Amino acid sequence: MSTSNGRGLVIGTGVALSALAVAAWFVTRETQPPALNRGGTLTVARAMGSGTQGMEGYARAFEPRAFHFPEDHGPHPEFRTEWWYWTGNLETTDGRAFGYQFTLFRNALTPDAPARASAWGARQVYLGHFTVTDVSAGKFHASERYSREALGLAGAAAQPFKVWLEDWEATSVGEGMWPVRLRARTKDVTLELLLEPGKAPVLEGDRGLSQKSEEPGNASYYYSMTRMPSQGTVQLDGQTYAVTGESWMDREWSTSALGQGQVGWDWFSLQLSDGSELMYYQLRHEDGTVDAFSSGTWVPPASAADSAPLHLKREDVELTVLDTWKSPRGGEYPSRWKLRVAKLGLELTATPKVSDQELVVSVRYWEGAVSLDGTRQGQPVKGRGYVELTGYADTGASARGPGTRARGTPESQGRPSPEPSRP
């Protein structure tokens, strides 16, 4: 199997359009609720079907554009959907390991509407996903929330930078853009981190245009910050842990959908011990085959003489599933991979740090911390990263296609991890 170009489609358009369709209905109650699967949650493919319905009046990504920072860290309300996506691996001085995901999605309810007298009136809905993987305990904590952009409940601004959803927020600290503070809490776990920029933003796809299918405009504007030094605290089970590590930020905005026959994706953000990073995403069809618009980017070490990122096409990446994990809620996910990029002399094995890192929220998907072992140009290399898997818990197939769906819940999850099963 191989992989694709752009995290944008990955969870952004998928989970944003899917879960936010549910969130928008619960917040506004102005339209009929979206069609749900028999388990009670929304499928990615159904929410992201091809075509232009619901896209009229929004801007679309037809061609590369100039990016401007720090302005582009802020919102782009002329597009239907966007997201601020952070993942990272953290550890204490004595080696206790944690992974985290913190995502804020913005979704427009309408491209244009007259002002409403009610202070509750809003044209934007925000959704948040927050997870912490407690690697030592083998437990995964996940939570979801959503709110309208009204009464200060949620919103985004470029200068000074701030994106928030109630008391979940990402904000600039001090005079400039950096550092950025992430804060999120539930009744079970609290995360507070300071993130420095690390490497410069990497434009994914064609100069930041990440094409998802052959249809013009079915694309996103997409950039990543691939190695952000991070420090702060994790509070869990009544204990506060001082942690350091590295984060990855993905930013996308779009008015797009899955192409005809696409049902999900496998997305990798990998930070290697030699100072390089690899992003790769693979779009899958209903029959399990890989879409031609799958792609990725390799970012060389900052010390490399030629430090320009390298765009990777589907045929550049060989991705093989080595193991699978069966969710107790139904469905089967890939759970260990061999990833090979011949032109880079790179061979990696990616292994989940905890088997059960499945989010049971509006759209059920797997996203979690992984460890890496392998070689590059014949030299040993290790690393860590994050993997996201969607479309496996929708309709009931194996790790090459959708699986069965269990009922979703917006409440926090904390559970031990079952061992992975063999294919």
What confidence tens digit (pLDDT) does each residue in 121-155 have? 788 999 999 999 999 999 999 999 999 998 899 99
The pLDDT of residue 346: 98
Q: Find the range with the poorest average confidence among 73-77, 260-264, 266-270.
A: 260-264
The pLDDT of residue 328: 94
How, if at all, do strands 81-91 and 239-254 pair? antiparallel
Cα 329 to Cα 64, 294, 405, distances in angstroms: 41, 28, 7
Tokens (6 digits) for 310 = 């390298």
Question: What is the gyration radius of the CA atoms in the chain, in angstroms?
Answer: 20
Complete domains list, the chain, with CATH: 7-51+69-109+123-416 (2.40.370.10)
DSSP summary character for residue 200: P
Q: For 114-208, where are the E strands, in sequence order? A: 124-134, 139-148, 154-157, 162-165, 168-172, 180-185, 189-195, 202-203
Across 14-28, 295-309, 396-410, which has the greatest mean pLDDT?
Answer: 295-309
Reported as a pLDDT band with limits 50, 70 and 90, residue 258 is: low
Q: What backbone torsions phi and psi does residue 245 show, to the nearest 5 degrees?
A: 170, -155
CB 135 within 8 A of CB 43: no
**Nearest-angstrom CA–CA distance, 55 and 327:** 34
The pLDDT of residue 56: 84
The sign of the torsion formed by the CA atoms of 107, 110, 112, 113 equals: negative
Across 206-220, 256-270, 336-350, which has the greatest mean pLDDT?
Answer: 336-350
Cα 59 to Cα 76, 112, 267, 374, 399, distances in angstroms: 10, 12, 26, 42, 35
The pLDDT of residue 53: 61
**Nearest-angstrom CA–CA distance, 40 and 36:** 6
Question: Residue 318 corresponds to which amino acid?
Answer: E
Number of CB atoms found within 10 A of residue 18's CB: 25
The pLDDT of residue 173: 95
* Bigger pLDDT: 109 vs 415: 109
**Nearest-angstrom CA–CA distance, 415 and 411:** 13
Taking alpha carbons only, the member of 157, 102, 156, 122 closest to residue 27 is: 122
Does residue 38 have a pLDDT over 50? no
Maximum separation of any 2 CA atoms in the chain, in Å: 66
Question: Residue 287 corresponds to which amino acid?
Answer: D
**What is the model's pTM?**
0.85
**Nearest-angstrom CA–CA distance, 131 and 184:** 9
Residue with tokens 């997305």: 267
The SS3 of residue 276 is coil
**Nearest-angstrom CA–CA distance, 342 and 52:** 38
pLDDT (tens digit per residue) in 59-108: 999 999 999 999 999 999 999 999 999 999 999 999 999 999 999 999 99
CB 44 within 8 A of CB 35: no
